[in-house]
């Protein structure tokens, strides 16, 4: 609770300053860094949907960051890595596009299930279970033509249910507009130090089909050049720039709104991510230091990955007057096919039996999910507001693995071999939940927000396999689990004039447990694992001066986490069993802040940061690798970002802007590793790093030309460090995710 006590003193001082400037205006957050430049003398109110209704940001009693679509475009941000600097405390553990884990407020122990839920509008995306790799397959949607990204910190169990222990990342897309025709496009070219060129394009059209009907369609194509080489280490391939990738797809949406009280919106989103090799380099296992003096990867068989996102949704709104009814239906799929190069470990063991070979594991991971939410909510008023609703989801998951020996230098299977290894793990998840939330206004300046949610889920999973490496046919009995969890939140808030508010929040969140598919003979208590829960305490202040020349948003938090879920091995009668298990406790505490200064029209400077101490309070189960007092993985002690921009008029409709940003991260612990602890006495870790970016542009009315540079100092920042379960990299090296080297780009834009 130390961080909260420190924040109380800070909050009191901020409120005292802001009280002197009370006027009718609203708190401004990080997303207005670039919004300020489009209308230098005016700042529009920030609207968010954090509590499933449109609200001013200052009225939401919790920590929320908002990044506008315009900000994303000005920053040339199209994926997770590009906009981390805009959100205090948001971290990404990633090895390649489409293969990453989000972390908020230090709530992370690795494992299979996610602690940050990803939404696209009303649709939750990905898997809720610990059986289909949801934790490392966060939906990295392209950001073109989104209205904004909302990041809600802390457990969001009341409104958003499972897998929101750390928070929510929500993509809010632009709706079709019945009032105007819009056509807009952007095209970019980039060059990366030591790598190939990249080519990016995107376009959107909005077309009214009358006064009550409109359609909006957008598309994007990103061809990203590689920059990592395979240099023949211990017999590996010799090939340059092996980690190229492509991302392409689009969104279509149809809006029917015959009256102001009734609307129906149907949407479809498609995105493909094709990756030739991950963005990882051979690295020293304990520190993540890059080996061989430059970005290299020991490739025998390409570690290719194909990810497919599909999201189909329908939202109906009807205003009865006394309340509004919202029905949100969706069907989404996530499919990943990838090859994992196991040549270095398996091929020497098989060469005497099958001759020269290379070896890989092929895996298909698939999630098919249907969701339905119905809620009834009161109109906004100054006395009592409420929301009640129900939620249902049905999820089908599958992991399908095959182990294959191939002719060296190809991906062609060696003919005539028996089955070496196959395995399938199909799973099912079903959840039904009811929730309610209310805000009681006890006066013009004081209100209390409170809510609760009860969720019940049922799961089942089975496993089958065959092959020489699996010891022959295997069919395990179906494992099942059933669980109910209640979550809640309480948040009082006091407003000081119209420019400052102080709030506190207590909230509970959970992540579902589930069945473990274990070999026969495993103890009964290992057949399933329980949900883990967090209880969060938060206090924050949002404030600004009446002329909006200065604003600040700061929050302190303390999180108690119990029954933490970890993936690994545990022992019973000296026999190791691998799966998902519950550990003991962990805690995380710290604070985040965003402050923005606008001393003159067109000039904006913002600084955001987070300070987080997150540690285990107990040892994890045997062989899972974590010990009491260890730092939680991929949680830097501090992260700080600064951004500044100046825009000015030249002549007529022509404007110009220049901007720059700097992000600093401290040292981070990597994934728990019992072997390294036994050998060295400490957990693996990756060094802190700094990244500087710059941008400039000319805006000619409907046309624009922009130049930008990322990672000006060519930092070798690491985003992951994983030592494989079996040695697959020569000389005992680890695979370390790495940020892109210095990249310089040019963007042309046009709109009509």
pLDDT in tens, 156-170: 989 999 899 999 999
The residues, ordered by sequence, that sit 6+ positions from 352 with a Cβ below 8 Å of its Cβ are none
Q: Identify the three-state secondary structure at position 5.
A: helix
By the 8 A CB rule, do 414 and 357 touch?
A: yes
Residue range 22-287+303-582+591-751 forms a domain whose CATH class is mainly beta
pLDDT tens digits, one per residue of 264-284: 999 999 999 999 999 999 999
Question: Is residue 176 scored above 60 in pLDDT?
Answer: yes
Q: Which residue has the higher pLDDT, 183 or 580?
A: 183
pLDDT tens digits, one per residue of 614-657: 999 999 987 788 999 999 999 999 999 999 999 999 988 899 99
Question: Is residue 148 scored above 70 in pLDDT?
Answer: yes
pLDDT tens digits, one per residue of 435-481: 999 999 998 899 999 999 999 999 999 999 999 888 889 888 899 99
Write out the E strands in 277-416: 280-283, 305-319, 324-341, 358-377, 384-406
Distance CA 629, CA 81 (A): 29
pTM (two decimals): 0.92
> What is the per-residue DSSP string for 233-269?
GGG--EES----EEEEEEEEEEEEEEETTEEEEEEEE
In this prediction, residue 4 carries a pLDDT of 52
**What is the Cβ-side half-sphere exposure of residue 468, based on CA atoms within 13 angstroms?**
12
Distance CA 697, CA 710 (A): 15
Distance CA 339, CA 359 (A): 10
Q: What is the mean pLDDT of the chain?
A: 90
Report domain extents, the chain.
Answer: 22-287+303-582+591-751
Distance CA 176, CA 120 (A): 16
């Amino acid at each position: 609770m130390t961080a909260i006590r420190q924040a109380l003193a800070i909050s009191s001082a901020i409120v005292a300053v802001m009280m002197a400037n009370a006027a009718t205006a609203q708190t401004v957050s990080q997303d207005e860094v670039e919004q300020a430049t489009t209308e230098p003398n005016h700042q529009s109110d920030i609207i968010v949907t954090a509590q499933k209704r449109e609200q001013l940001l200052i009225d939401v009693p919790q920590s929320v960051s908002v990044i506008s679509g315009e900000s994303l475009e000005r920053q040339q941000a199209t994926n997770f890595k590009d906009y981390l600097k805009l959100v205090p405390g948001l971290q990404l553990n990633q090895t390649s596009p489409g293969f990453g884990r989000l972390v908020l407020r230090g709530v992370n122990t690795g494992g299979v299930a996610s602690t940050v839920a990803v939404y696209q509008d009303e649709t939750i995306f990905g898997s809720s279970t610990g059986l289909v790799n949801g934790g490392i397959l966060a939906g990295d949607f392209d950001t073109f033509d989104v209205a904004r990204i909302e990041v809600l910190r802390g457990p969001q169990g009341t409104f958003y249910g499972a897998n929101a222990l750390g928070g929510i990342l929500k993509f809010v897309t632009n709706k079709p507009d019945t009032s105007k025709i819009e056509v807009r496009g952007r095209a970019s070219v980039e060059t990366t130090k030591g790598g190939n060129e990249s080519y990016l394009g995107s376009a959107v059209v909005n077309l009214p089909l009358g006064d009550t009907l409109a359609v909006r369609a957008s598309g994007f194509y990103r061809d990203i050049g590689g920059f990592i080489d395979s240099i023949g280490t211990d017999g590996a391939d010799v090939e340059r720039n092996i980690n190229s990738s492509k991302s392409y797809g689009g969104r279509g949406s149809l809006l029917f709104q015959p009256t102001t009280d009734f609307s129906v919106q149907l949407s479809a989103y498609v995105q493909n991510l094709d990756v030739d090799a991950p963005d990882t380099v051979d690295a020293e296992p304990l520190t993540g230091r890059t080996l061989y003096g430059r970005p290299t990867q020991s490739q025998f068989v390409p570690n290719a990955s194909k990810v497919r996102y599909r999201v189909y949704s329908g939202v109906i709104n009807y205003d009865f007057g006394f309340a509004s009814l919202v029905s949100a239906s969706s069907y989404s799929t996530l499919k990943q096919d990838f090859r994992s190069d196991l040549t270095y470990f398996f091929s020497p063991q098989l060469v005497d039996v099958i001759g020269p070979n290379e070896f890989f594991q092929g895996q298909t991971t698939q999630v098919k999910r249907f969701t339905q939410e119905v809620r009834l909510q009161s109109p906004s008023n100054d006395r009592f507001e409420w929301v009640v609703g129900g939620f249902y989801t049905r999820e089908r998951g599958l992991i399908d693995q095959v182990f294959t020996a191939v002719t060296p230098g190809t991906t062609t299977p060696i003919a005539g071999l028996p089955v070496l290894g196959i395995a399938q793990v199909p799973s099912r998840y079903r959840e039904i939940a009811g929730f309610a939330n209310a805000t009681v206004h006890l006066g013009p300046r004081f209100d209390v927000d409170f809510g609760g949610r009860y969720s019940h889920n049922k799961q089942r999973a089975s496993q089958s396999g065959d092959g020489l490496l699996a010891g022959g046919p295997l069919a395990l009995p179906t494992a099942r689990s059933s669980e109910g969890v209640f979550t809640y939140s309480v948040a009082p808030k006091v407003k000081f004039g119209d420019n400052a508010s102080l709030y506190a929040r207590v909230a509970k969140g959970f992540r579902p447990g589930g069945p473990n598919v274990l070999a026969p003979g495993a103890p009964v208590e290992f057949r399933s694992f329980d949900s883990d829960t967090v209880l969060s305490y938060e206090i924050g202040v949002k404030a600004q001066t009446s002329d909006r020349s200065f604003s600040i948003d700061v929050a302190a938090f303390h999180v108690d986490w119990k029954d933490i879920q970890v993936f690994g091995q545990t022992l019973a009668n000296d026999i190791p069993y691998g799966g998902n298990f519950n550990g003991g406790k962990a805690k995380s505490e710290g604070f985040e802040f965003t402050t923005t200064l606008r001393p003159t029209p067109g000039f904006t400077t913002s600084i955001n940061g987070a300070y987080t101490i997150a540690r285990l309070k107990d040892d994890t189960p045997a062989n899972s690798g974590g010990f009491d007092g260890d730092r939680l993985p991929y949680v830097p002690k501090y992260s700080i970002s600064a951004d500044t921009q100046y825009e000015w008029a030249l002549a007529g409709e022509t404007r110009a802007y220049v901007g720059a940003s700097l992000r600093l991260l401290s040292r981070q612990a990597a994934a728990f590793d019992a072997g390294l602890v036994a050998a060295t006495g400490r957990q693996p870790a990756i060094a802190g790093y700094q990244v500087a970016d710059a941008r400039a542009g000319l805006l000619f009315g409907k046309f624009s030309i922009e130049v930008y540079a990322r990672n000006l100092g060519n930092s070798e920042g690491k985003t992951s460090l994983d030592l494989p379960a079996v040695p697959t990299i020569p000389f005992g090296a680890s695979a370390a995710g790495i940020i892109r080297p210095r990249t310089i780009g040019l963007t042309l834009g046009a709109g009509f």
